[in-house]
Amino acid sequence: MSLYLHLHETDIPPFSETRHIWEHILADENYHIVVAEEDGRIVSSCTCVIVPNLTRGGRPYARVENVVTHAEYRGRGLATACLDYAKELAVKAGCYNIALLTSSKNENTLKFYENAGYKPNEKTGFVQWL
């Protein structure tokens, strides 16, 4: 959870408040938390969710969220490795695509996603905050 402070979170909720969410994630075979470790510490991560689908011949699709690397470990290829592993999961599951959304407008972040193989103009994304 402390890694998410390098994403957009501003505090870490007590585990007693998030335990039920963690248990739900662990029980879901389609929800993957991909991590990179250095010195026994998780320093980069992303989530990859495989979504069952009735179109595209019943092939699922994958969504990547919460891509983050600890500020002190950036530039070492760790997030790229996480995204590559997420792609492997999607390919293994027979997904017809893998996509991610970012709210970042930082040119380096956008180029990072493009260099990782994500195309910015393939689909149009819309978000409604709830």
- Can you tell me the distance from the alpha carbon of 127 to that of 111, in angstroms, rounded to the nearest whole number? 21
**Predicted model pTM:** 0.92
pLDDT band at 9 (very low <50, low <70, confident <90, very high): confident
Q: Give the chain's domains with CATH numbers.
A: 2-115 (3.40.630.30)
pLDDT digits (tens, 9 = 90+) for 68-95: 999 999 999 999 999 999 999 999 999 9
**Those residues with Cβ within 8 angstroms of residue 12's Cβ, 6 or more apart along the chain or in another chain:** 1, 2, 4, 5
Question: How confident is the model at residue 125, as a pLDDT?
Answer: 87
